[in-house]
Amino acid sequence: MARKKIALIGAGQIGGTLAHLVALKELGDVMLFDIVDGVPQGKALDLAQSGPVEGYNSTLKGTSEYKDIEGADVVIVTAGVPRKPGMSRDDLLEINLKVMEQVGAGISKYAPDAFVICITNPLDAMVWALQKFSGLPAEKVVGMAGVLDSARFRHFIADELNVSVQDVTAFVMGGHGDTMVPLARYSTVAGIPLPDMVKMGWMSKDKLDEIIQRTRDGGAEIVGLLKTGSAFYAPAASAVEMAECYLKDKKRILPCAAHLTGQFGLSDTYVGVPVVIGAGGVERVVEIELNASEKKMFDASVASVDGLVEACKKIAPKL
């Protein structure tokens, strides 16, 4: 069986880590793409040279030409610029929207059958635009945020309770950002919902609320520590998990920014919801029931995503 091909658009912090993880897990051969000539080539060569030590057989190459992503089975997009001091949210939106236009054209021309995972911020608006620019079926274009946000939630809970992260599941919905909705009721320790853990005296309600807030601020906490750049190890691991589900038809249920067509009362919106990921891409949206306060938080989160999408439409009227 021929190896799968994984194209990584953007060879920065996350792109390089993605390449390493894909090779370590032998998910396929890697084509690392960036507009900065030399960086994807240099990172790919460095990673290829760790192959003999690690014992992986993936082939890693770097390029600055879209034709080299031809036939990719999976494309993971991290291309874009980060927000710099003095740059407004709209400035960032405008720049990264142009990047999505280029990337969408490249994917549409050379990898129209790929499963595409977008990571670039502002995530929910960028994945929405990338799907439109690429013209790929919406079930084949998803955004990565929920897996990362719930991994942060899981880590904090496991750390607090001194239990294995493997036994903690967590659910985070909504847009990626301050308005994300961590759902305690649907998050569990060995199947026991978190509110029950509070009742059992394992954790105070205040501590749980503090962890929920820390999860919401998870990205900013890391930016604050690193000072330059944002998180990249956990974001890369999260996207690789999504890619693996698709390539191995695992049908796992993961929170992803997915295209909604009526679910949760929303249409033509990308927002974080639980979905089944398998060989068909997003095979099903899991429409869980939200209580009144959860619904209020989710609606507020959707409204902030809508605001970004409206701003995109103003910048690029053809969307």
Q: Which is nearer to ligand TXD, 38 or 195 (CB)?
A: 38
Tell me which amino acid residue 143 is. Answer: G
Q: Minimal distance in Å, beta carbon 48 to ligand TXD? A: 19
**Residue 35 interacting with ligand TXD (CB under 6 A):** yes
**Near ligand TXD by CB under 6 A, which window of 3-11, 107-115, 179-187, 203-211?**
3-11
Q: Minimal distance in Å, beta carbon 319 to ligand TXD? A: 17
Kindly state the helix (H) or strand (E) to which residue 168 belongs, with its residue range: strand 168-169
How many Cα atoms occupy the beta-carbon half-sphere of 106 within 13 Å?
Answer: 26
**Residue 9 interacting with ligand TXD (CB under 6 A):** yes
**Residue 218 interacting with ligand TXD (CB under 6 A):** no
**Residue 131 interacting with ligand TXD (CB under 6 A):** no
**Residue 62 interacting with ligand TXD (CB under 6 A):** no
- Running DSSP on this structure, what letter comes out for residue 77? E
Q: Which pair of tokens denotes residue 52?
A: 């003999």
Site for ligand TXD in 244-273 (CB under 6 A): none
Active site residue 155: no
- Within 8 A by CB and 6+ apart from 289, the residues are none
Q: Which residue is nearest to ligand TXD (CB)?
A: 12
**Residue 148 interacting with ligand TXD (CB under 6 A):** yes
Contact pick of 5, 12, 29, 216 for ligand TXD (by CB under 6 A): 12
**Residue 38 interacting with ligand TXD (CB under 6 A):** no
Q: Minimal distance in Å, beta carbon 232 to ligand TXD? A: 5
Residue 82: cis peptide before it, omega within 30 degrees of 0:
no
Asked if 276 and 251 count as a contact pair (C-beta separation under 8 A), the reply is yes
Contact pick of 58, 63, 121, 304 for ligand TXD (by CB under 6 A): 121
Asked if 79 and 34 count as a contact pair (C-beta separation under 8 A), the reply is yes
Q: Which pair of tokens denotes residue 9?
A: 């658009």
Q: Among the options 20, 155, 176, 259, which is catalytic? A: 176
Q: Minimal distance in Å, beta carbon 34 to ligand TXD? A: 5
Alpha carbon dihedral 81, 232, 48, 11, in 10-degree steps, equals: -10
Q: Which pair of tokens denotes residue 307?
A: 């605001």
Contact pick of 141, 145, 285, 305 for ligand TXD (by CB under 6 A): 145
**Residue 102 interacting with ligand TXD (CB under 6 A):** yes
Q: Are strands 181-182 and 172-173 parallel, antiparallel or unpaired?
A: antiparallel
**Residue 215 interacting with ligand TXD (CB under 6 A):** no
- Within 8 A by CB and 6+ apart from 142, the residues are 115, 116, 117, 118, 127, 242, 256, 257, 258, 275, 277, 281, 282
**Residue 76 interacting with ligand TXD (CB under 6 A):** no
Asked if 99 and 122 count as a contact pair (C-beta separation under 8 A), the reply is no
Asked if 105 and 133 count as a contact pair (C-beta separation under 8 A), the reply is yes
> Hey, how many other C-beta atoms are within 10 angstroms of the C-beta on 204?
10
Q: Please identify every residue annotated as catalytic.
A: 176
Q: Which residues bind ligand TXD (CB under 6 A)?
A: 9-15, 34-36, 39, 78-82, 99, 102, 119-121, 123, 144-145, 148, 176, 229-232, 235
